[in-house]
Chain A
Amino acid sequence: EPEVTQTPSHQVTQMGQEVILRCVPISNHLYFYWYRQILGQKVEFLVSFYNNEISEKSEIFDDQFSVERPDGSNFTLKIRSTKLEDSAMYFCASSERGRGRRYPSTDTQYFGPGTRLTVL
């Protein structure tokens, strides 16, 4: 069964450093997302991406964050200058379609296993 993959599984970095989190969405999916989950808290939306551009972003997704689809398979999240409060589990997700489609199963977002980011 196709799945979303993420690398690395765990990233440790120093405050102020840049990190790039990588994701390979399910191959026929067109919509891509990043979410984060601070330890013990709920999952929060960061950004959605479709047709090579951001379709929506949250207040968390400030100028320190950027996303890119550098080729036909990868989807990346870059944090330019990490802060202590960026420590969290980062989940990539993908869906075949977006909202408003006839068949809801194609709207479902499938998540990757996550990258645990620790900022020291």
Chain B
Amino acid sequence: AQKITQTQPGMFVQEKEAVTLDCTYDTSDQSYGLFWYKQPSSGEMIFLIYQGSYDEQNATEGRYSLNFQKARKSANLVISASQLGDSAMYFCAMRPRRGGGNKLTFGTGTQLKVEL
């Protein structure tokens, strides 16, 4: 069974600063995909970034980057130059790339608040 752990229920960051949201995972699969989603207070789930387990480089998407450490089974999200609009709940999720199903397994989320 796969498990995602997000140990930070809440985080605060000053506007324009960088912040790291932690995610560790547990799986016996060799091939898997890791995702981060953002959920603003309005409720929708917005895809941010993807990392494949065999990708040699850390994924980046604009101000988002993923600090992927396979041996430690961690996939931390780094948001650079935080903006007020980044205040939201952030979920880490995993899906096996081969075998099993397509389902995403989510963590419990981290509530990020960006302050002036």
A interface, CB within 8 angstroms of B: 31, 33, 35, 41-45, 48, 50, 55-56, 58, 89, 91, 93, 95, 98-100, 104-105, 107-114, 116
Q: Which one of B31, B103, B108 contacts A33 once the chains associate, using CB atoms below 8 Å?
A: B103
- How far, in angstroms, from A75 to B107 measured CA to CA in the complex? 26
> How many residues on the B side are at the interface (Cβ–Cβ under 8 A)?
29
* Interchain CB contact under 8 A, A114 and B45: yes
* Interchain CB contact under 8 A, B95 and A110: no
Return the chain B residue nearest A116 by Cβ: B43
Given the complex, which residues of A lie within 8 Å of B42, measured CB to CB? 113
B46 to chain A, nearest CB (A): 8
* Interchain CB contact under 8 A, B50 and A55: no
B interface, CB within 8 angstroms of A: 31, 33, 35, 37, 42-47, 50, 52, 55, 91, 93, 95-98, 100-109
* Interchain CB contact under 8 A, A109 and B43: no
- How far, in angstroms, from A109 to B48 measured CA to CA in the complex? 11
B73 to chain A, nearest CB (A): 19
**Interface of A (DSSP majority class):** strand
* Interchain CB contact under 8 A, B105 and A111: no
Given the complex, which residues of A lie within 8 Å of B43, measured CB to CB? 89, 113-114, 116
10 inter-chain pairs at a CB distance below 8 angstroms, sorted by A residue, are A33-B102, A41-B108, A43-B93, A50-B102, A104-B33, A104-B52, A108-B35, A111-B47, A113-B42, A113-B44
* Interchain CB contact under 8 A, B44 and A114: yes
B57 to chain A, nearest CB (A): 13
Given the complex, which residues of A lie within 8 Å of B45, measured CB to CB? 43, 91, 93, 111, 114
Q: What 14 new A-B contacts, CB under 8 Å, besides A31-B102, A107-B50?
A: A33-B104, A35-B104, A42-B109, A48-B102, A55-B101, A95-B102, A104-B55, A109-B102, A111-B45, A112-B44, A113-B43, A114-B43, A114-B44, A116-B43
* Known contacts A99-B97, A99-B98; A109 and B106 CB within 8 A of each other: no
* Interchain CB contact under 8 A, B50 and A56: no
* Interchain CB contact under 8 A, A48 and B101: yes
Given the complex, which residues of B lie within 8 Å of A112, measured CB to CB? 44
Given the complex, which residues of B lie within 8 Å of A42, measured CB to CB? 91, 106-109
